């Protein structure tokens, strides 16, 4: 999670070129006439540089604060310290940044215009946040929030809420963080502030990612990226790029994650932004570690740790030490693994110790209490008016009491009747609850019985499927062992050519061992995926948007895997389809499996046509459709269809395709678990998964789901 510093927004800020031209107009014969207009122009240009080219900003501001002080221009001196601190923060030099922010704060406190005070409190809070000092950061953020509310500065209020959310995020309180980001989003929408909306959606997406809500994370991060691109906010685009890279890493789309991390690293190095550089390096280290490229992972992780240590960025030091510990463990270097694990625990404990947690809670409660005090003062001022109003009301009350007394006897009779009816209703409710409990118990027993009935079949399937590649591995290994003896004999005799021929046979055997070893590995991974549980919690979800995200994920994956496959994916979404209850991660997995199968089918048909002598104008096409339907019994439902024009499925295999481990793909290219998993997910949603296929023409998979709101 990147701590996004507060950046004041100008409606129509001048460009860098315009400001440079303006500065030239102040120069005459190499001399500069120093006045407030010149000082403000230098500050405006340095501010633009501070977040993209911090060294240029520091060079431009060298001596500028002294010149402003000599001219008695306190506001200009304040700006000089503030922007100098911004540039140092971009470079990750927090001590210099903090020193300059505090100078600016002392000056701003003496100015007649106090608008800069909450801005500087927020900036100082961000420095403490990046250093892992959460109580101090929160103290500054709440002080900034009070000052911003007093000035009714909604932009500053929103930015401060975002930074408070960042504190919760770094503490691992992802539900609290998401609520804070949501509050920031609501404020940004009211203000029509596109930049703030992008920041809020990015925060929500990162909180979703930490909560393992991959579909929601991709959806929110995509919105954040679109909004940042719309206004050309390069810094925000860099932030979202890193967040999206983390999402693809979590989805095991490692090539896509690598590309995004590398893009972010190149752009952040160009801008000399220390925090972004470290996050990109740590991301690359995690991807390389997962891919088994341990040397590359070690290089990236070590550079990240070195930079984080130089900056004093505790969160990044913690993350870098964690991945380095895992890399050294994978390389078999136990001493270094233990060393970095201890450093990781030290950083983690310092960020999340009980004293820090208590201090954060105290700051939050203090802010809430001060708000209640203010509300109490307002209520006290209203008491006098209420006392006068109460005296006038007493007269009216006397009149009303007489009317109420006459009606009381009638109400007593009505109340007795209602009590009797309530007693009957309560008895019926208790009876209904008992019946429901019995039904739930019976349902649990049926589910357990079904699980036990299928367990034997599943276990046999696992044993059979893993035994096949293991037999190949054993057989080829035994043969290779004998061939090694033969090769040694031929070498002893001096028959080098015969030995080379035997070596070639051994190489072929080893390739077969690798192939079937990977087959067994894929089966085990597939079984882990099959058994992996989701939260199982249904959420109100827009199916069209969910499907669109997973279709894109599948498309990226296949384009990375097979660059020669130019398949056209067409979507036909029913726009009348409302959001309804489903488990988004599970249904997303179904969409991903079905679309992946469609890509394989059209790719295989194209390959076979090329082998036969040409594609004959064949255009690989996949059609994804959603449609509102009426299910049997009159219930509202939705259908999802995935249609491809591949080779189709032979009729003698149609009855087996939903069985675990059954696959129509060649050995090593499929585990036979994708459709079985999809079938179980759809069944758990109360739906149905069907298939229609014609050999040589194509296949249509249909998912029918009930709609519950």
Q: Where residue 61 sits, what CATH number does that domain have?
A: 1.25.40
Does residue 339 register a pLDDT over 50?
A: yes
156 belongs to a structural domain: yes
For 705, list phi and psi in degrees, rounded to 5: -125, 140
pLDDT for the residue 526: 53
Looking up residue 276, the CATH number of its domain turns out to be 1.25.40.10
- Pairwise pLDDT comparison (49 vs 532), residue with the higher score: 49
- Over pLDDT 70: what percentage of the chain? 77
pLDDT for the residue 522: 64
Same domain, 270 and 171: no
The mean pLDDT of 146-175, rounded to a whole number, is: 82
Does residue 329 register a pLDDT over 50?
A: yes
120 belongs to a structural domain: no
The mean pLDDT of 668-695, rounded to a whole number, is: 80
Q: How confident is the model at residue 4 (pLDDT cuts 50, 70, 90)?
A: very low
365 belongs to a structural domain: no
Q: In the listed set 464, 497, 532, which residue is the last one of a domain according to the structure?
A: 532
∠ at Cα 131 (126, 133), nearest 5°?
A: 85
pLDDT for the residue 644: 94
pLDDT for the residue 283: 92
| Domain boundaries, position 571 | 539-706
Same domain, 31 and 80: yes
Does residue 218 register a pLDDT over 50?
A: yes
119 belongs to a structural domain: no
Same domain, 200 and 178: yes
- Tally of domains within the chain: 5
The secondary element (H helix, E strand) that includes residue 276 is helix 274-291
Q: How confident is the model at residue 285 (pLDDT cuts 50, 70, 90)?
A: very high
Does residue 97 register a pLDDT over 70?
A: yes
Does residue 65 register a pLDDT over 50?
A: yes
pLDDT for the residue 394: 59
Contacting residues for 128 by C-beta, under 8 A, at least 6 apart: 134, 136, 137, 140
The average confidence (pLDDT) of the chain is 78
Contacting residues for 705 by C-beta, under 8 A, at least 6 apart: 582, 587, 637, 638, 639, 640, 682, 685, 686, 687
Q: What's the chain's Rg over C-alpha atoms?
A: 34
Does residue 703 register a pLDDT over 90?
A: yes
Yes or no: say if 465 and 522 are a contact pair by the CB < 8 Å rule.
no
pLDDT for the residue 267: 87
159 belongs to a structural domain: yes
- Pairwise pLDDT comparison (527 vs 231), residue with the higher score: 231
pLDDT for the residue 355: 39
Looking up residue 568, the CATH number of its domain turns out to be 3.30.565.10
Q: Which of 106-115, 194-203, 554-563 has the lowest mean pLDDT?
A: 554-563
- Pairwise pLDDT comparison (641 vs 173), residue with the higher score: 641
Same domain, 405 and 339: no
223 belongs to a structural domain: yes
Same domain, 553 and 667: yes
Same domain, 414 and 524: yes
User: Dihedral sign, CA of 166, 168, 172, 176?
Assistant: negative
Q: In the listed set 532, 549, 572, which residue is the last one of a domain according to the structure?
A: 532
As a whole number of angstroms, the distance between CA 133 and CA 394 comes to 57
pLDDT for the residue 9: 41
pLDDT for the residue 141: 83
pLDDT for the residue 81: 92
The secondary element (H helix, E strand) that includes residue 699 is strand 698-706
Q: Which of 310-314, 410-414, 472-476 has the lowest mean pLDDT?
A: 410-414
Same domain, 579 and 512: no
Yes or no: say if 42 and 61 are a contact pair by the CB < 8 Å rule.
yes
Does residue 612 register a pLDDT over 80?
A: no
Q: How confident is the model at residue 51 (pLDDT cuts 50, 70, 90)?
A: confident
pLDDT for the residue 365: 45
Q: How confident is the model at residue 667 (pLDDT cuts 50, 70, 90)?
A: low
Contacting residues for 12 by C-beta, under 8 A, at least 6 apart: none
Same domain, 35 and 94: yes
Does residue 375 register a pLDDT over 50?
A: no
pLDDT for the residue 641: 95
The mean pLDDT of 59-87, rounded to a whole number, is: 90
The mean pLDDT of 554-578, rounded to a whole number, is: 84
Which of 139, 98, 170, 163 is closest to 359 using CA atoms?
A: 139
Q: How confident is the model at residue 665 (pLDDT cuts 50, 70, 90)?
A: low
The mean pLDDT of 544-569, rounded to a whole number, is: 83
pLDDT for the residue 53: 79
Instruction: For residue range 240-281, list pLDDT tens digits in order.
Output: 899 898 888 888 888 888 999 999 899 888 877 788 899 899
pLDDT for the residue 232: 87
Same domain, 672 and 695: yes
For 172, list phi and psi in degrees, rounded to 5: 85, 10
Q: In the listed set 516, 532, 548, which residue is the last one of a domain according to the structure?
A: 532
DSSP 367-430: HHHHHHHHHHHHHHHHHHHHHHHHHHHHHHHHHHHHHHHHHHHHHHHHHHHHHHHHHHHHHHHH
Yes or no: say if 1 and 166 are a contact pair by the CB < 8 Å rule.
yes
pLDDT for the residue 638: 94
152 belongs to a structural domain: yes
Start-to-end CA span in the chain (Å): 34
Same domain, 279 and 189: no
Does residue 409 register a pLDDT over 50?
A: yes
Yes or no: say if 203 and 168 are a contact pair by the CB < 8 Å rule.
no
Cβ burial 45-55 (10 Å sphere, 16+ → b, else e): bbbbbbbbbbe
Same domain, 196 and 59: no
Same domain, 506 and 561: no
The mean pLDDT of 479-489, rounded to a whole number, is: 83
222 belongs to a structural domain: yes
The secondary element (H helix, E strand) that includes residue 254 is helix 254-271
The mean pLDDT of 481-504, rounded to a whole number, is: 84
- H helices of 532-580, in order, are 543-561
């Amino acid at each position: 999670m990147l701590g996004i510093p507060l950046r004041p927004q100008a409606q129509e800020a001048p460009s860098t070129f315009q400001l440079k031209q303006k500065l030239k107009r102040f120069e005459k014969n190499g001399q500069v006439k120093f006045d407030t207009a010149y000082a403000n122009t230098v500050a405006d240009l340095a501010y633009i540089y501070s977040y993209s080219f911090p060294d240029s900003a520091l060079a431009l501001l060298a001596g500028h604060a002294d010149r402003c002080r000599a001219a008695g221009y306190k506001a200009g001196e304040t700006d000089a310290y503030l922007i100098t601190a911004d540039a140092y923060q971009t470079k990750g030099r927090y001590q210099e940044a903090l020193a300059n922010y505090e100078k600016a704060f002392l000056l701003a406190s003496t100015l007649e215009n106090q608008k800069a005070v909450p801005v500087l409190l927020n900036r100082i809070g961000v420095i403490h946040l990046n250093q892992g000092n959460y109580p101090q950061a929160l103290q500054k953020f709440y002080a900034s929030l009070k000052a911003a509310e007093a000035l009714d500065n909604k932009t500053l209020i929103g930015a401060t809420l975002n930074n408070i959310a960042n504190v919760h995020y770094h503490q691992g309180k992802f539900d609290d963080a998401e609520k804070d980001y949501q509050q920031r989003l609501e404020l940004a929408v009211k203000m029509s502030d596109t930049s703030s909306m992008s920041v809020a959606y990015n925060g929500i997406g990162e909180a979703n990612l930490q909560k393992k809500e991959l579909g929601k994370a991709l959806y929110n991060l995509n919105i954040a990226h679109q909004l940042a691109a719309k206004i050309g906010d390069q810094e925000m685009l860099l932030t979202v790029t890193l967040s999206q890279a983390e999402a693809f890493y979590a989805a095991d789309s490692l090539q896509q994650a690598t590309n995004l991390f590398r893009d972010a690293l190149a752009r952040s190095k160009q801008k000399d932004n220390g925090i972004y550089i470290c996050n990109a390096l740590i991301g690359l280290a995690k991807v390389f570690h997962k891919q088994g490229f341990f040397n590359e992972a070690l290089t990236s992780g070590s550079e990240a740790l070195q930079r984080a240590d130089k900056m004093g960025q505790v969160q990044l030091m913690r993350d870098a030490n964690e991945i380095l510990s895992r890399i050294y463990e994978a390389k078999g270097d136990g001493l270094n693994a233990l060393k970095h694990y201890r450093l990781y625990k030290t950083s983690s404990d310092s960020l999340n110790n009980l004293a820090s947690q208590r201090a954060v809670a105290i700051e939050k409660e203090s802010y809430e209490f001060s708000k209640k005090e203010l509300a109490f003062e307002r209520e006290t001022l209203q008491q006098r008016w209420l006392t006068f109003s109460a005296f006038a009301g007493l007269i009216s009350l006397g009149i009303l009491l007489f009317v109420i007394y006459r009606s009381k006897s009638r109400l007593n009779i009505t109340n007795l009747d209602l009590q009797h009816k309530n007693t009957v209703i309560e008895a019926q409710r208790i009876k209904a609850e008992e019946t429901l409990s019995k039904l739930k118990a019976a349902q649990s027993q049926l589910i357990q019985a079904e699980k036990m009935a299928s367990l034997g079949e599943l276990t046999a399937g696992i044993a059979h499927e893993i035994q096949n590649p293991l037999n190949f591995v054993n057989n080829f290994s035994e043969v290779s062992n004998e061939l090694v003896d033969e090769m040694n004999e031929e070498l002893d005799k001096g028959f080098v050519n015969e030995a080379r021929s035997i070596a070639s046979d051994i190489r072929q055997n080893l390739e077969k061992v690798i192939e079937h070893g990977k087959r067994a590995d894929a089966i085990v991974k597939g079984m882990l995926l099959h058994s992996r549980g989701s939260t199982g919690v249904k959420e109100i979800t827009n199916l069209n948007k969910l499907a669109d995200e997973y279709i894109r994920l599948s498309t990226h994956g296949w384009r990375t895997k097979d660059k020669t496959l130019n398949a056209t994916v067409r979507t036909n979404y029913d726009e009348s389809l409302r959001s309804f209850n489903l488990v988004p991660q599970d249904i997303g997995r179904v969409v991903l499996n079905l679309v992946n199968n469609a890509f394989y089918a059209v790719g295989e048909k194209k390959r076979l046509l090329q082998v036969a002598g040409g594609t004959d104008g064949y255009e690989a096409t996949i059609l994804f459709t959603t449609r509102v339907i009426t299910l049997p019994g009159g219930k509202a439902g939705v259908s999802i269809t995935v249609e491809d024009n591949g080779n189709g499925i032979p009729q003698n295999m149609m009855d087996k395709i939903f069985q675990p481990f059954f696959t129509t793909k060649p050995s090593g290219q499929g585990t036979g678990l994708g459709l079985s998993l999809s079938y179980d997910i759809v069944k758990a949603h109360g739906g149905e998964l069907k298939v229609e296929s014609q050999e040589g023409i194509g296949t249509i998979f249909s998912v029918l789901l009930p709609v519950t709101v």
